[in-house]
Amino acid sequence: MKTGKSGLIQGGILAALGLAALLSLVIPQLLRERKDPQLLSLSVLLRDSDSSGWAIARQGMEQAADELGAELRFLTLAEAGDSGEQEAVLLREIDGGAAALVVVPADPGALSAALEQWRLICPAVTLESPMEGAAGTVAPDNALLGRQLAQALLEDWDEGEVLLLDTAGSCTGISGRLEAAEAVLTEAGLPVRRAGELPEGARWVMAFESAATLRTAERREAEGRDFALYGVGAATAVTAQLERGNIAAMAAWSDYAAGYLAVRRAVGAARGEEGTATALPFSVLRKEDIYAPENQKLLFPVMSSSGR
Amino acid sequence: MSFFRTLAAKFGERYRRMSIQMVLSLSFTAVAAAGMLLMSVSLIWRFSSASEQLVAENSRRVLAQANLNLDSYLRRMMRISDTVYYRSIKNMDLAEGDLTAPLGLLYEENRDDLVSLAVFDGEGGLVAAVPLSAVKGDAAPVESDWFQAASRSMENLHFSTPHVQNIFDDPDYPYRWVVSLSRHVQLTRDGSTEGGVLLVDMSFNGIEQVCRDVTLEGGGYLYLIDKDGELIYHPRQQLIYAGLLEENNREAASYRDGSRLERFRGQSRQVTVKTVGYTGWKLVGVAPAGSWLASSPQPMLFGLTLLLFSIFLMAFLNFLISARISDPILRLERSIRELDKGLANVEIEEGGCYEVQRLSHAVASMVSTMRHLMDDIIRQEGQKRRSELEVLQSQINPHFLYNTLDSVIWMTESGQQKEAILMVTSLARLFRIALSKGKSIIPLRDELEHARHYMNIQQIRFKNKFVTRIEARPGTEELYTLKLIIQPILENAVYHGCASAEDDGVIRVTAYREGEDLLIDVEDNGLGMRPELAASLLDEDGPQVRTGGSGIGVRNVHQRISLTFGEGYGLSIFSEPDEGTLVRLRLPALSREEANRCQEGEVL
């Protein structure tokens, strides 16, 4: 009886040791397979027809894709802000096998509805505007940004109406900035007016997206007009307008960080990891702040192709 | 403390219940596994230590090469600065010539590495610059770090940290990152000298290219800092600038040249530092600890596999060896257990190793001795029993002989010669059968004959007060019986049954067979007795019942039968007052051969 029990125990020990030896042979193979995850295909879709304003963000995206094993497809719209086209392009990308999407949504509401059934198959991460059902959003706190930009204007304002350039369309992130700025200005008793285009005679102008800021600044310089422009942007061209004095103050953040974080979140979502919205830090800069060491690092990515 | 005591007690308890094979195999396996583990840990430690040194050596070699390249690059920049200073600035009176042309030539020669060359006077005014010649309206070169560093320490060349050049008015606003090399220069204007600053803006690309492709063991990397720890180059510099990554650059600035281990953000890593000559910059190589502990888990896991497999083999061998040692002991134990159960033909196997063989041999020898001793004891017991029987049988003679001879004398004196002759004849026959050549087991017919003669004598003595009927039923003719077992019963029947009865007595002796037993009933119609008394007659603790005849008690007969044939045989007495008594003798039905064997002392 005792011999039988001993035999069982010894057999158990031998079996356990043999199994452990076998597992230690198998595990490396499994580790090797896990270590080389499949290259993920990510599609990046902007709401603009021109991607030049997103050059720095793209660098950040490429850095993240390189580190995390993803390949990127950058797509723009034929017509800026065309949410219908954006939906169609996104659905085509999902059909094409995209593992995740990074989107600057033209119309977050419509896009959310369009992507509803694909959410589990192809998670989407948004830039600039939050979107319902998105796997994450990388953007500055839009309301805070609008308020701080309005504060910058209040510091300079003496008299006159403030024109708020409403170029948001259905883009909730941009409209969030505008509404927050409008609230601050109204509360401060300033006359405020929204307009889609820059009218003649405006003295105080606020733009809430990079492209509108750049366009307005360029018009100011080209037409020799004299108004104080308060805008947003992190692109080098916008910074140059700030330096040239065509922008009085601008809210800026690291587009590089935005791009990097968006792709990192998208890769995480494609691999089934949970994530949340990421609020990007931003600063409201004036011309004299541009070359402060910290702002240099924020505005001008250190790249071999820096500045181009 | 009590926990350890309890643990030790539990272990001791378990140890006591373990088989010898289990103890041997587990102990050997545990010791072997511990030894192997210790050896493995020692090997891993040695391997890690050697790997760490190799990684450090590799890092030092790589850093030395990077340092050489960087030094070469910086020296080239310094040569450009020297060339501008010693060949152009020192040889030119600014009132008479323009530095733009020689600066332009140099710039063209080195345009891949240079962003701009410029000379400023002591007030920060631009003397000459290429490729751009206009300074931004709001630019203040005097306030720039590079200008102030050159003005502070006039003998040295100064390298700035990377910054975006913001002096020159460029319509493209390229915002180039540069590293500025500045020095104080002596400008000649109208024959008089004045201080100024020569600025060589090196493209950041140049430094980046020197450092970019340098990789260290196990995914290690290299970064470059100035003497204050400010980052000059880092492969993930923009992530650090964007606040998405941290580097231990400030701490690294305090490190001396050489390798060391540091822990940063929960990760252990080897840091190798090499100071770049002249500038005070430091090249810092970072190799994660995993690169020498386990650059990949594969070798570690392979080592683990080897270790586990070795332990497996060792355990297997231990189990086999311990089984070979313990099996003979177990077999020996089993044999002893069988002996203990009383099995006669148990083989004591003398196998196994030397000590176990000796032990088995000793046990076998002991068993053999025990068997001899037991045989002796059995023999002695048999002899003792025979002696007891002989003693019991010898009790018959004196009383009966005396009474009978007394009756013969009396009959002879009274002239009853015929009865006297019959009595003497019966007595002679009685003794002849009683002797039976010394045999204790005799044919049943002789025993019945003996009873008949005895009753003849008693009938004469009691003047035919009773009649005797002796019968041997068919099937009993060839049987044997213990001798002198009926006569004492008859004696009891005569003295206690019939002698004092008023009526004529009848005594019946009937021998018959019941299965494998021989039964002899002795029945009288005398006074009888109470059943309790009848039962007490055979009780060894009860009083000895003796008769007035031969002196052999009923109990004597019972004991003799029981001693000879076993507990199942002997007497049964059935009696009722005034009804008579039946004494039944039960014996095995012995054939001649069995009687002979029994005679020789064998137990049936």
Contact: A290, B166; criterion CB under 8 Å: yes
The alpha carbon of residue A200 is apart from the nearest alpha carbon of chain B, in Å, by: 27
Same domain, B284 and B422: no
- In angstroms, the CA B17 to CA B21 distance is 12
pLDDT winner (highest mean) among A179-188, B311-320, B391-400, B518-527: A179-188
Are B117 and B258 in the same domain? yes
Looking at the structure, tell me whether residues B291 and B411 fall in a common domain: no
Nearest chain B CA: its distance from A304 CA (Å):
5
Residue linked to tokens 């090499």: B274
Residues B403 and B291 in one domain: no
Over residues B31-60, mean pLDDT = 85
Residues of B within 8 A of A21 (CB-CB) are 305, 308-309, 312
Number of domains in chain B: 2
Q: What share of chain A is helix, strand, coil (3-state, %, to 5)?
A: 50, 20, 30
Residue of chain A whose alpha carbon sits nearest to that of B308: A21
Say how far apart CA A152 and CA A146 lie, in whole Å.
Answer: 10
Residue that terminates a domain, selected from B295, B325, B350: B295
Across the interface, of A257, A291, A307, the residue whose CB is closest to B176 is: A307
For residue A7, what pLDDT is reported?
75
Are residues B291 and B405 both part of a single domain? no
Number of helices (H), then strands (E), in chain A: 10, 12
Residue B140 shares a structural domain with residue B283: yes
CATH of residue B52: 3.30.450.20
A268-272, B234-238, B380-384: least confidently modelled range? B380-384
Mutate to test the interface with B, among A1, A17, A19, A218 (most CBs of B within 10 A): A17
Mean pLDDT of A59-64: 92
B428 and B287 housed in the same domain: no
Q: Give the angle subtended at the CA of B275 by the CAs of B274 and B277, to the nearest 5°.
A: 135
Q: B238 and A256 in contact by Cβ < 8 A? A: yes
Instruction: Say how far apart CA B3 and CA B9 lie, in whole Å.
Output: 10
> Which residue in chain A has the smallest CA separation from B327?
A3
8 A C-beta contact, residue B329 and residue A3: no
Across the interface, of B204, B297, B308, the residue whose CB is closest to A21 is B308
Report residue B394's pLDDT band, with 50, 70 and 90 as the boundaries: low
A306 vs B204: CB contact, 8 Å cut-off? yes
**pLDDT of B371 strictly over 70:** yes
Write down the pLDDT at residue B550. Answer: 45
The answer to whether the CB atoms of A297 and B163 lie below 8 A apart is no
Task: Specify if B497 maps to a domain.
Answer: yes
Give domain status of residue B263, yes or no: yes
Q: Cβ–Cβ of B311/A17 closer than 8 Å?
A: yes
The ipTM assigned to this model is 0.83
- The verdict on a CB contact (< 8 Å) between B166 and A291 is yes
B270 lies in a domain? yes
- Which residues, 6 or more positions from B355, have their beta carbon under 8 angstroms from its beta carbon? none
Predicted confidence band at A33 (pLDDT cuts at 50, 70, 90)? low
Interchain proximity A307–B177, CB inside 8 Å: yes
Is there a contact between A27 and B25 if contact means CB atoms under 8 Å apart? no
Tell me which of A260-264, B205-209, B347-351 is least confident. Answer: B347-351
B305 touches chain A (CB under 8 A): yes
B442: phi then psi, degrees, rounded to nearest 5: -130, 165
- Averaged pLDDT for residues A37-64: 87
Which 222-281 residues of chain A touch chain B by CB within 8 A?
Answer: 236-237, 239-240, 243-244, 254, 256-257, 260-261, 281
Would strands B221-225 and B231-233 be described as parallel, antiparallel, or unpaired? Answer: antiparallel
Q: Give me B509's structure tokens.
A: 């002796």
Q: Is position B332 within any domain?
A: no
Q: What share of chain A has pLDDT > 70, as a percent?
A: 94
Query: Does B221 map to a domain?
Result: yes
Cβ A184 vs Cβ A144: under 8 Å = no
- The whole domain housing B100 covers 20-295
A284 contacts A266 by C-beta, under 8 angstroms? no
- Residue B325: both structure tokens together: 């040692």
Both B439 and B584 in a single domain?
yes
CATH number at residue B517: 3.30.565.10
B462 in Cβ contact with B478 (< 8 Å): no
Nearest CA in chain B to A295: B241
Residue that terminates a domain, selected from B295, B315, B349: B295
The model scores a pTM over 0.80: no
SS (H, E, C) A160-202: CCEEEECCCCCCHHHHHHHHHHHHHHHHCCCCEEEECCCCCCC
Q: Is residue B310 part of a domain?
A: no
Among the listed residues A31, A88, A49, A94, the one whose alpha carbon sits nearest the alpha carbon of residue B298? A31
Q: Does B320 touch chain A (CB under 8 A)?
A: no
* Residue B191 pLDDT greater than 90, yes or no: no
Phi and psi for B222 in degrees, rounded to 5? Answer: -130, 140
Same domain, B277 and B406: no
Mean pLDDT confidence for B34-47? 85
Q: What pLDDT digit, counting tens, does each position of B272-325 carry?
A: 999 988 888 999 999 888 766 655 566 677 778 888 888 888 888 888 888 888
Partners of residue B304 in chain A, C-beta under 8 Å = 24
Closest chain B residue to the Cα of A254, Cα to Cα = B242
Domains of chain A: 40-139+255-280 (3.40.50.2300), 142-253 (3.40.50.2300)
* A89-123 b/e (C-beta count within 10 Å ≥ 16 → b): bbeebbeeebbbbbbbbbbbebbbebbeebeeebb
Angstroms from A264 CA to nearest CA on chain B: 11
Burial letters for B490-516: b for 16+ Cβ neighbours within 10 Å, e otherwise? bbbbbbbbbbebeeebbbbbbbeeeee
B317 contact residues in A (CB cutoff 8 A): none
Task: Determine the residue of chain B that is closest to A302 in CA distance.
Answer: B238
Of B295, B317, B338, the last residue of a domain is B295
Phi and psi at A37, nearest 5°, equal -70, 155
